[in-house]
Amino acid sequence: MSNKSQFSLPTSSYEVITKILHAYVLCGDKPATLQEVSSKAGLNKTQVSGNNAFLSSIGLLEGGKQKTLTSRGKNLALAIANKLQADIASAWSSALMDAEPTKAVLEMIKVQNGVIKKDLSGKIAQSLKLPASKSAQTKTGINALIEIATRAGVLEESGDKYVFCAWAEGAPAKQAGGDQATQGGAKAGTHESVPKAKAAAPIVPPPLPQSALPGVHIDVQIHVAADAKPEQIDQIFASLAKHLYQRG
């Protein structure tokens, strides 16, 4: 777990951070130099070194001048390399919820029942005890942090607010980052996304063929008196035709 005094914001966008993590996993398990990582990532050494401080402060990197991925960092980097969106979200969520500074930011958003989008950057700066007048670099770092939290599924947009997602603390998980299923690869932390089961559709049997439908058979018995006149018999059959066959 990272100490709050050692926390550093990202210095680049989310895309740059993922390239750095991918490059570290390509370097293998041995500690890698800035030159090795920057070469594999296609970035300059300043970009790598600036973001190394952030990745170290949330427990994804370790080491001195030459650094290597932690177990959690390797899981995240492997998930990024293989585009396993559920594992990427799970690993980021675990890292953010276990690092004291980022956990404090998320808890602040939870306590406030969401923060208006335009105010979120300032609230995060306040939580991290950053200067009120933020530099462009600080704004970049805060925006990257918001994007990471959103991609991790611990923050989501709701109307004009960003709100904290309850599943990050153990409620039924919400899968972030699309519908791609996890296939092997990295499984990091304890906040793994589990999509909700869909309700089964009701089973509707196909219509029966006409020949299989039940039939109704009615026998009608008519008792005519022996002394009935022909016109009376005709009236009986005329009445039957009228009521049974709608004739007449």
Least confident of 13-27, 124-138, 234-248: 234-248
Q: What is the pLDDT of residues 47-90, one digit of tens each?
A: 999 999 999 999 999 999 999 999 999 999 999 999 999 999 99
Is residue 182 a part of any domain in this protein?
no
Taken in order 212, 214, 219, 220, is the CA torsion positive or negative?
negative
Total domains present in the chain: 1
Is residue 120 a part of any domain in this protein?
yes
Q: Is the pTM of this model over 0.85?
A: no
User: Is residue 136 over pLDDT 60?
Assistant: yes
Is residue 183 a part of any domain in this protein?
no
Is residue 223 a part of any domain in this protein?
no
Q: What's the rounded Cα separation, in Å, for the pair 212 and 115?
A: 63
Is residue 26 a part of any domain in this protein?
yes
What distance lies between CA 185 and its chain's CA centroid?
Answer: 18
Angle at 151 between CA 10 and CA 146, to 5 degrees: 45
User: Is residue 142 over pLDDT 60?
Assistant: yes
Q: What is the pLDDT of residues 90-109, one digit of tens each?
A: 999 999 999 999 999 999 99
Q: What is the mean pLDDT of residues 29-44?
A: 96
3-state SS, one letter per residue, for 63-76: ECCCEEECHHHHHH
User: Is residue 189 over pLDDT 70?
Assistant: no
Cα torsion at 166, 168, 172, 175 (round to 10°)? 110
The pLDDT mean for the chain works out to: 80
Is residue 244 a part of any domain in this protein?
no
Looking at residue 195, its pLDDT comes to 42
Q: What's the rounded Cα separation, in Å, for the pair 63 and 83?
A: 26
Residue 223 pLDDT class (50, 70, 90 cuts): low
Q: What is the pLDDT of residues 149-162, one digit of tens each?
A: 999 999 999 999 99
Is residue 162 a part of any domain in this protein?
yes
User: Is residue 244 over pLDDT 80?
Assistant: no
Is residue 212 a part of any domain in this protein?
no
The enclosing H or E element of 182 equals none
Residue 60 tokens, joined: 């994804």
CATH, residue 83: 3.90.241.10
User: Is residue 18 over pLDDT 90?
Assistant: yes
Looking at residue 135, its pLDDT comes to 84
Residue 246 pLDDT class (50, 70, 90 cuts): low
Q: What is the mean pLDDT of residues 27-47?
A: 95
**Residue 243 exposed, middle or buried by CB count within 10 Å (0-12, 13-18, 19+):** exposed
Looking at residue 215, its pLDDT comes to 57
Where in the sequence is the domain holding 65, given as residue range(s)? Answer: 4-169
Least confident of 193-197, 206-210, 226-230: 193-197
Residue 240 pLDDT class (50, 70, 90 cuts): low
Fill in the amino acid letter for 243. H
Q: What's the rounded Cα separation, in Å, for the pair 101 and 57?
A: 9
Looking at residue 56, its pLDDT comes to 96
